[in-house]
């Protein structure tokens, strides 16, 4: 078990000299993001017990400094911090999954579509046209690293890869662009409960949008991930990351998954997570929306409550004579 002294020494080895508050719990160091905007200004506050951190100058904050260290120091330092100080806490939530699965590899010949905007290959052009017709911009192609290939069973499929917190590929989903394809989706062989889709993009301190599939993400705000299905299991890595960070959630599941949305919302509320549930109106799923419609419905979404849960359950009761 790490002691107070070992924690202090680790932080000093990375961020330099620190100041310890009178409470003996909070320390102040130079912010790794902004340098605290001046020499010797120690405005990056860290609670040594909870690891909550916040810079009073630039405003950067987190439930722990791992993401900040990853972005502004190095991935190796972030990993070292997590291995030393978060694993014991993660085990309490079973956050660390066994690393015994085969590594995920992108399909042979994977080509980022953002680099092939002027390609004359008919398959690549068809994929680009398909994405354009779905309202996907060039910026989206870059942001989501969307690609395709001209080889094998992934030919004429649009591929969305996913990356974990350290930038390693952990999943991909490939969607056929032709209606007569035998299989609409082909996913990588990985245990979905151990995956957070594009965890590298997530800020756990802000409201996180949950949708069902990767292609729904193309219409969302940037702080979003997908369930890779329509359920959220308590044993999943995603659920336990949400709960451990008390991350507020916006649920945007398909219209035919109302009962599952209710169950997920109630479950998260039981763990003190604030939840909003989006009303999709006449849309079947988020993927059908424009980005404008998503923002409009996101802004209209209200906080989930026990009363709302009860009313939703009552609405599902079939009425009629008992005789």
63-96, pLDDT tens digit by residue?
Answer: 889 999 999 999 999 989 988 888 655 444 444 4
- Sheet holding 224-226: strands in order across? 224-226, 208-211, 249-251, 275-277, 302-303
**Four-way CATH pick for 4-93: 3.90.580, 1.10.520, 2.40.128, 3.30.70:** 3.90.580
pLDDT at 253: 93
Average pLDDT, the chain: 87
CATH architecture of 111-192: Alpha-Beta Complex (3.90)
**Four-way CATH pick for 202-315: 1.10.20.140, 3.40.50.300, 3.40.1360.10, 3.40.50.720:** 3.40.1360.10
Segment 33-63, tens digit of pLDDT: 888 666 668 889 998 888 989 988 888 888 8
Domain locations in the chain as residue ranges? 4-93, 111-192, 202-315
The C-alpha atoms of residue 271 and residue 266 are separated, in whole angstroms, by: 9
pLDDT at 110: 97
CB-CB contact of 151 with 108 (8 Å): yes
Whether 315 shows a pLDDT value over 80: the answer reads no
CB-CB contact of 211 with 226 (8 Å): yes
Whether 1 shows a pLDDT value over 70: the answer reads no
pTM: 0.66
Percent of the chain whose pLDDT exceeds 90: 61
């Amino acid at each position: 078990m790490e002691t107070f002294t070992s924690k202090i020494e680790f932080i000093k080895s990375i961020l330099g000299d620190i100041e310890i508050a009178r409470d003996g719990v909070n320390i102040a160091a130079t912010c790794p993001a902004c340098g605290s905007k001046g020499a010797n200004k120690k405005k990056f506050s860290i609670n040594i017990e909870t690891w909550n951190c916040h810079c009073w100058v630039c405003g950067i904050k987190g439930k722990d400094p791992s993401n900040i260290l990853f972005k502004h120091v190095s991935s190796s330092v972030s990993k070292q911090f997590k291995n030393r100080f978060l694993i014991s806490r993660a085990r309490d939530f079973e956050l660390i999954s066994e690393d015994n699965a085969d590594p995920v590899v992108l399909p042979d010949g994977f080509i980022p579509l953002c680099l092939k905007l002027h390609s004359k290959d008919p398959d690549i052009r068809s994929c680009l046209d398909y994405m354009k017709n779905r309202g996907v911009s060039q910026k989206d192609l870059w942001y989501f690293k969307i690609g395709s290939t001209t080889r094998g069973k992934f030919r004429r499929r649009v591929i969305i890869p996913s990356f974990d917190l350290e930038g390693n590929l952990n999943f991909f989903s490939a969607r056929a662009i032709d209606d007569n394809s035998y299989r609409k989706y082909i996913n990588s062989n990985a245990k979905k409960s151990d995956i957070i889709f594009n965890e590298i993009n997530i800020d756990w301190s802000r409201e996180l949008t949950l949708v069902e599939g990767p292609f729904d993400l193309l219409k969302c705000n940037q702080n979003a991930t997908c369930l890779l299905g329509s359920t959220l299991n308590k044993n999943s890595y995603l659920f336990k990351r949400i709960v451990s960070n008390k991350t507020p959630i916006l649920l945007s599941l398909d219209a035919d998954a109302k009962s599952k949305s209710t169950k997920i919302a109630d479950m998260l509320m039981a763990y003190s997570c604030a939840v909003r549930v989006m009303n999709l109106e006449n849309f079947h799923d988020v993927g059908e929306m424009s980005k404008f419609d998503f923002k409009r419905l996101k802004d209209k979404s209200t906080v989930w409550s026990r009363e709302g849960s009860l009313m939703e359950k009552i609405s599902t009761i079939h009425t009629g004579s008992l005789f």
